[in-house]
Structure 1
Amino acid sequence: MDHRVVFDFDIAFTNGGGIQGQDFRLDIADETISDAELADYIVKDLRLLMVGKVTILDKFYIQEPHKRKPVNLISTEHLVDLSHTIFDGLVTYKGLPAPVICDFLSRKDSKGKYEEGTEFQIGKIEMVSNTGTYIDCPFHRYAHGKDLSEVELEAFANLDAVTIDATGAFEIGIGFFQNLEIRNKAVMVHTGWSKHWNTEAYFEDHPFLTREAAEYLRDCAVKLVGIDSHNVDDTRGNSRPVHTTLLGAEILIVEHLCNLDKLPASGYLFSAVPPKFKGVGTFPVRAFATLTNP
């Protein structure tokens, strides 16, 4: 048998008045559904405007054949988090200090500053900008390049993206990018190396792009290059031709990504938005992909 939910609802409008419904029945795809999902569905299905508080009452579930195909109750989109968690003591790059995350004002110390029963925490973070999953802007490599505050917001958010499967590769050359539609795209290079995150193995013999691949991506006018490896460049020496080539062409770089295996080959949006700092070329981001459900 299929699942259905039975409930009452009360909807108030922000401009006054309201509507109610009793013993409302809805086909659902799963065994349960939250009040928030139900509220969103009712508002959408009834095409209501100026909606304020929506209250779901006396909700219970029954099993009986669906009267129609269960609807998508919330959205046709979902988000995939592509960022590692930053925590106190995390080592992102050997030789750089780990972040220190602590209280500036603890909840205990906040007592007495506010009315009884009210507590707050204000955190303090000390870290270098190359921590966790971060984005590189031209200023990271070039003194006169654009910093975080100068790069337009459109360069960070809602970029058409493609995923390149480079799992098992060490040197990622031109061949991985040829015969693909990559112009004006954010190019996500999936190496699978993020499985070594926060281990000694992560820092050694990691996958990287070749100079020729970087020049090819530059010539194809891609918007951004992301990788789930320790560095987009080969770190065994002191040369960084990929950073030099891409940032010189104002192509942004995102390193230390994760969950790229959850992305399709194309047809999604990529975002990695940093704070708007002046005089900084690199900073942690909450990178994510926006996928459209079929």
Structure 2
Amino acid sequence: MSKRVIFDFDISFTNGGGIQGQEFRLDIGGESISDKELADYIVWDMRLLMVGKVKIINKRYIVEEHKRSPISLAQGEELIDLSHTVFDGLVTYKGLPAPVICDYLSREQSKEIYEKGVTVQIGRIDMVANTGTYIDCPFHFFEEGTDLSEVPLNAFTGLNGITIEAKGVTEIGIDFFKNKEIRNKAVLVHSGWATNWNTEAYFTDHPYVTKEAAEYLRECDVKLVGIDSHNIDDTRGKARPVHSTLLGADILIVEHMCNLDMLPAAGYTFHAVPPKVKGMGTFPVRAYAKL
């Protein structure tokens, strides 16, 4: 059924003054909307600046035919999370230790430090850099290559993305990238292998990009290559030609991605920012796409 929200509002500005409204009605797409979401939408829709406190008052819902398309809380943007969750005991790569996640200071212990009613938790994690969804920069393979602290921030964020569909294919060759607008793009390879995440099947016979395809990507000056598989290289041997080719050309790599099936072919930006750590070439990221 069509739901509408009716409400009053009181908005104050940080430079003085304010505005009020009574009995406003807005179409909504679901059954309800929070005060915070409603306040954010009003500020955006009215193009208000220097807004301070926003109070939503007398909010209620009615069933009534919509007068326009339901409001978009994302205001024209949608974020797609492309990262796996890192948890205690997660095995990302066989042979490497799983992360140990625990309390450094527990809430119970904090009761002895802070005033009554105040508790805090300080967490501790012990892990190798190749855990979860992570990004590789040149230092991972090359001693003189740039490490996480030296790669410029704009190499990690705001990259125009393109999705390469390669589901059901083990050897992802050069033909998957030809006749595509890939120059200066973040090229994300959707193999569909993420459905095997955290199972034994994830580690063997996984999809990978070929050496020839990596050389083609390098020639096309792509910015970054990501894949939702166990490794961008074929791990049955000791060679890692794709890592060597791409990282040797300062092209970043993101592995162990997920939700690539939720991306369009193009028309989005890709973001995967690691901490600024000196002397490391790999680290987990919260990778996401902004549609």
SS in 2 for 1:125: strand
SS in 1 for 2:128: coil
Name 1:143's counterpart in structure 2. Answer: 143
Q: State the 1:34 CA deviation.
A: 2.1
SS in 2 for 1:151: coil
Name 1:96's counterpart in structure 2. Answer: 96
Once the two structures are superposed, what CA deviation does each residue of 1:22-71 show, in whole Å capped at 9, x if it has no partner?
Answer: 22222333332221222123223333222111111111112233344444
Residues 1:206 and 2:183 are matched in the alignment: no
Matches within 5 A, 1:1-294: 2-291=2-291
Q: State the 1:73 CA deviation.
A: 4.4
Once the two structures are superposed, what CA deviation does each residue of 1:82-101 show, in whole Å capped at 9, x if it has no partner?
Answer: 00001111111111111111
CA change 1:14–1:104 in 2 (3 A) is same
Q: Is the CA contact (8 Å cut-off) linking 1:194 and 1:256 kept in structure 2?
A: yes
Q: Is the CA contact (8 Å cut-off) linking 2:139 and 2:280 kept in structure 1?
A: yes
RMSD value, Cα: 1.3
SS in 2 for 1:77: coil
What is the rounded CA distance, in whole Å, between the counterparts of 2:31 and 2:123 in structure 1? 40
My pick for the range that moved more, 164-173 or 23-32, is 23-32
What is the rounded CA distance, in whole Å, between the counterparts of 1:74 and 1:276 in structure 2? 29
Unaligned runs of 5+ in 1: none
Matched residue count: 291
What is the rounded CA distance, in whole Å, between the counterparts of 1:287 and 1:9 in structure 2? 37
What is the rounded CA distance, in whole Å, between the counterparts of 1:68 and 1:201 in structure 2? 48
What is the rounded CA distance, in whole Å, between the counterparts of 2:222 and 2:117 in structure 1? 53
Q: Is the CA contact (8 Å cut-off) linking 1:37 and 1:74 kept in structure 2?
A: no
Q: State the 1:77 CA deviation.
A: 0.3
Q: State the 1:8 CA deviation.
A: 1.1
Unaligned runs of 5+ in 2: none
Q: State the 1:75 CA deviation.
A: 1.1
My pick for the range that moved more, 242-251 or 57-66, is 57-66
SS in 1 for 2:78: strand
Q: Percent identity?
A: 72
TM-score normalised by L of structure 2: 0.96
